[in-house]
Amino acid sequence: MIKVERIEKPEELTVDVQKHLTEEFKKDKKKSVWNKKYIRDKLLKECNNKCVYCECFIGEGYKEMHVDHFHYKDKYEDEVVEWNNLNPSCPHCNKNKSSHDTYEEPIINPFEQNPQEYFYLKNYRYYSRNDKVEKIVRDTIDVLGLNDTEDVVKFRFEQGEAIIEKIQEIYELANENKYILCSDTKKKNRVLRGCKNILSKGTREAEYSAFMATIIKDDIYYGKLKSILIELGIWNEILQELDAKVDEIKMQTIPDM
């Protein structure tokens, strides 16, 4: 989970339209009045085609996007098409959350709170950083099923292990060819391209980016690879920019002291 920014609501969702749709919903709660193309398109854009809770890809070619009402719609009817109440999510998180009342028992809303301040990551799972946030962290994990092995942990594990292997591979390529790298354009480009690919998996647009960013930054061989490239003078602006982006979203790997 990473901090997500709200974008402007769709132009079509005017005050009048919102009022009308809300009335329609109040008359018939079975009506998916929020299910409009202009709403769905904007939501997908807002979240970079990722579930705002578990960060799996959603939308065309991936899991279907569910529109999660952060405050449960059947109880808080007036918020049924309130733009700030619509959170793009995956079927897993939306179904788990179902009718949970987030006013009575708050969970972390990545549009409002920065998940970095609440979680630390270990073994592809979320944990509470400290006792002060323990309650809301536990509730968030339990309500959304954020540590469910079959539905989410397994996928983070697969992608995380793949990135660790890739880092090892590129590091070895760079290290073994350290003294010829600058004059061997083909090898140099392979290393630079590999490093760029690794880092792109840890930016906010990437799937499970909180985990991927943390894994990359925590990997001893990534640190060594970066040092070699800096030492050889081939660490470039693109890599620096990506490296900074990954830094922005990585999480702690130990609880607060």
Q: Cα–Cα distance between 144 and 107 in angstroms, integer? A: 9
Q: How far is the CB of 94 from Zn ion (least distance, A)?
A: 7
In total, the chain counts a number of residues equal to 257
- Binding characters for Zn ion, 56-95, by CB under 5 A (x = yes): ----------------------------------x--x--
Tokens of 121: 């990551």
- DSSP notation for 98-143: TT--TTTS----TTTS-GGGTEEEETTEEEESSGGGHHHHHHHHHH
- Do 203 and 209 meet the contact criterion of CB atoms below 8 Å apart? yes
Q: Kindly tell me which of 53 and 118 has the beta carbon lying closer to Zn ion.
A: 53
Q: How far is the CB of 93 from Zn ion (least distance, A)?
A: 3
Q: Please give the residues from 115 up to 134 whose contact with Zn ion meets the rule CB under 5 A.
A: none
Cβ contacts of residue 63 below 8 Å, gap of 6+? 51, 56, 57, 90, 91, 92
Q: Kindly tell me which of 53 and 119 has the beta carbon lying closer to Zn ion.
A: 53
Count of residues that interact with Zn ion, criterion CB under 5 A? 5
Q: Kindly tell me which of 50 and 188 has the beta carbon lying closer to Zn ion.
A: 50
Element (H, E) at 195: helix 185-200
**Piece of the chain touching Zn ion by CB under 5 A; list 43-51, 213-221, 228-236, 243-251:** 43-51
Identify the residue among 1, 54, 146, 195 touching Zn ion (CB under 5 A). Answer: 54
Q: Please give the residues from 138 up to 167 whose contact with Zn ion meets the rule CB under 5 A.
A: none
Q: Cα–Cα distance between 110 and 108 in angstroms, integer? A: 6
Identify the residue among 25, 53, 120, 208 touching Zn ion (CB under 5 A). Answer: 53
Interface residue list for Zn ion (CB under 5 A): 51, 53-54, 90, 93
